[in-house]
């Protein structure tokens, strides 16, 4: 019997693992500049946390959670997203008493039992940011600006920002009635089975349905923005004005309600059209009632999460793991000398590998070629005796024999002359 991985769960090898590390490094740099600090929360939480925050009527809670009882029979769930856990940690730690605004980021694996396809995994990774404690539209604009800055730093700028406003609970109530009235006027058999139920229990979810029949119907549905109260309208107009003044483009998307129930006012998604059907690379919005709903203080919040697998699909076209040198050593003595030389070159900041096992010259040259390195360093018994090394540029074919003690200088000079 072979042991296989679970469907929808991936092993991440290079170059993908390098791309993931690169994304996290860029995120840390950009977020630190905006005052965000890292919070690491557990992968497991009590199920009830997700049911209450994400909402009973959502696909995530109804169909996608990995839920199981622990040894005492308590229901636990592998986190399907980071926000709920961050809110639980924020409340439990009493952070609200210590700072008026908290800026927290989290990265790591999330779990949703969805049908796997390109860009959709059952274990996937998010980079997640939350700004807690400010009701100001400046906070919404700051988060969106930071998200786009992060993507830009990664070299991803061919994306579209979709944005909408759900309004507050009061204006959403009048919208819900209008939407229900509109949907009830349609023949029920045009809507999917789920939406016939949602129409009565949580009509906003119908706007989010991906079934073509439902999409055709909601295309003409009343618009949320037309039901925003004056305060919500001013809030949203300010967010949009700040984005425009920063030179950030957006598209108003009247059906953008997002798949999770905790949102109010601003909601947004960043979409790429170069990665297929699973096109949303990031999503987020404001969730002012959530902390209170979970038993915490009445603190507002706004945040987003990026899907790392989807960003990696875009980046895999540009980012390559690159070795600068591959050292081949022919016998026992030259291998030990070569090992010391490899460490010295790495100490000098260069990236490289060497062969550990014995093999013929041709086989070793093949290994060097396959490694993708630009330079092959050759160390045979003669070179070892003289403490020399042959450095061959595998692109141009040029080769020179230099003293081992000068190899670092030689390679650094070569790199600079090619810049
Ligand atoms: P979400 O839209 O459910 O929002 O997920 C955010 C991003 O995670 C998506 O845009 C997508 O890139 C990625 N993603 C989601 N599901 C999968 C999957 N099965 N496979 C691969 N990638 C996936 C949230 O999770 C909210 N907690 C975001 C947020 C933070 N809102 C406020 N703060």
Distances (CA, A) of 242 to 44, 102, 157, 236, 275: 38, 21, 19, 10, 29
Q: Please list the pLDDT of the chain residue by residue as tens digits (419 residues).
A: 779 999 999 999 988 999 999 999 999 999 999 999 999 999 999 999 999 999 998 889 999 999 999 999 999 999 999 999 999 999 999 999 999 999 999 999 999 999 999 999 999 999 999 999 999 999 999 999 999 999 999 999 889 999 999 999 899 999 999 999 999 888 767 889 889 888 888 899 899 888 888 999 999 999 999 999 999 999 999 999 999 999 999 999 999 999 899 999 999 999 998 888 889 999 999 999 999 999 999 999 999 999 999 999 998 865 455 789 999 999 988 999 999 999 999 999 899 999 998 889 999 999 999 998 999 999 999 999 999 999 999 999 999 999 999 999 999 999 888 65
CA gap 385, 363 in Å, rounded: 23
What is the rounded (10 degree) CA torsion for 72, 77, 79, 81? -140
Cα-to-centroid distance, 125 and ligand 1 (Å): 9
**Residue among 333, 390, 337, 328 nearest 360 (CA):** 328
Question: What CA–CA distance (Å, rounded) separates 50 from 196?
Answer: 24
Identify the pLDDT of residue 319.
47
Ligand 1 centroid to 91 CA: how many Å? 22
Q: From the CB of 58, is ligand 1 less than 6 Å away?
A: no
How many Å lie between the centroid of ligand 1 and the Cα of residue 280? 8
CB of 261 sitting under 6 A from ligand 1 = no
Cβ(83) to ligand 1 under 6 A?
A: yes
Q: Tokens in use for 99?
A: 């700072």
Mutate to test the pocket of ligand 1, among 61, 307, 310, 315 (most ligand atoms within 8 A of CB): 307
List, in sequence order, every beta strand (DSSP E) within 314-384: 325-329, 352-354, 375-379
Q: What pLDDT, on a 0 to 100 scale, did the predictor assign at position 411?
A: 96
Q: Whose CA is nearest to atom 16 of ligand 1?
A: 120
16-33 vs 137-153: helix crossing angle, rounded to 10: 140
**Ligand 1 contacts CB of residue 310 (under 6 A):** yes
Nearest atom, ligand 1, residue 260 CA: 3
201 is written with which tokens? Answer: 């229990």
126, 288, 309: residue to mutate for ligand 1 pocket, most atoms within 8 A of CB: 126
Contact 365, 386 (CB under 8 A): no
Query: Taking a C-beta distance cutoff of 8 angstroms, is the pair 60, 263 a contact?
Result: no
CB of 307 closer than 6 angstroms to any ligand 1 atom: yes
| CATH numbers and ranges of domains, the chain | 16-168+229-314 (3.30.930.10), 325-414 (3.40.50.800)
Beta-strand pair 159-165/251-252: parallel
Q: What Cα–Cα distance (Å) separates residue 212 from each residue in 59, 207, 215, 252, 300?
A: 17, 11, 5, 21, 35
Q: Which of 326, 324, 342, 331 is nearest to 383 (CA)?
A: 331
For residue 415, the model assigns a pLDDT of: 86
């Amino acid at each position: 019997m072979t042991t296989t991985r679970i469907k929808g769960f991936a092993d991440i090898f290079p170059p993908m693992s390098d791309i993931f590390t690169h994304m996290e490094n860029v995120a840390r740099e950009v977020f630190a500049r905006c005052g965000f600090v890292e919070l690491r929360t557990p992968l497991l939480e009590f199920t009830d946390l997700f049911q209450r925050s994400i909402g009973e009527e959502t696909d995530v809670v109804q169909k996608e959670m990995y839920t199981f009882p622990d040894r005492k029979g308590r229901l636990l769930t592998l986190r399907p997203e980071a926000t709920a856990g961050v809110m639980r940690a924020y409340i439990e730690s009493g952070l609200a008493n210590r700072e008026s605004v908290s800026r927290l980021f989290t990265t790591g694996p999330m779990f949703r039992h969805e049908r796997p396809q390109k860009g959709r995994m059952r274990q996937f990774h998010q980079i997640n940011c939350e700004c807690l404690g400010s009701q100001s539209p400046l906070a919404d604009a700051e988060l969106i600006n930071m998200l786009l800055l992060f993507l830009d730093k990664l070299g991803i700028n061919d994306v579209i920002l979709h944005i909408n406003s759900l309004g507050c609970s009061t204006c959403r109530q009048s919208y819900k009635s209008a939407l229900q009235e509109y949907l009830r006027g349609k023949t029920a058999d045009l809507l999917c089975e789920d939406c016939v139920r949602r129409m009565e229990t949580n009509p906003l979810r119908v706007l989010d349905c991906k079934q073509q029949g439902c999409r055709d119907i909601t295309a003409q549905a009343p618009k949320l923005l037309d039901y925003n109260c004056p305060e919500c309208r001013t809030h949203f107009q300010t967010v949009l004005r700040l984005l425009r003044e920063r030179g950030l483009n957006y598209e108003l998307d009247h059906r953008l309600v997002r798949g999770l129930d905790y949102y109010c006012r601003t909601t947004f998604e960043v979409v790429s059209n170069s990665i297929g059907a699973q096109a949303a690379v990031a999503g987020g919005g404001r969730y002012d009632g959530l902390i209170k709903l979970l038993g915490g203080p009445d603190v507002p919040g706004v945040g987003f999460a990026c899907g790392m697998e989807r960003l990696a699909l875009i980046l895999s076209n540009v980012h390559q793991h690159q070795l600068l040198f591959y050292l081949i050593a022919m016998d026992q003595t030259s291998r030990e000398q070569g090992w010391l030389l490899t460490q010295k070159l790495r100490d000098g900041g260069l990236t490289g590998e060497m062969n550990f096992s014995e093999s013929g010259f041709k086989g070793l040259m093949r290994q060097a070629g396959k490694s993708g390195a630009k330079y092959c360093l050759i160390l045979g018994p003669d070179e070892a005796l003289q403490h020399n090394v042959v450095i061959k540029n595998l692109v141009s074919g040029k080769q020179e024999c230099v003293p081992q003690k000068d190899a670092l200088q030689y390679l650094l000079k070569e790199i600079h002359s090619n810049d």
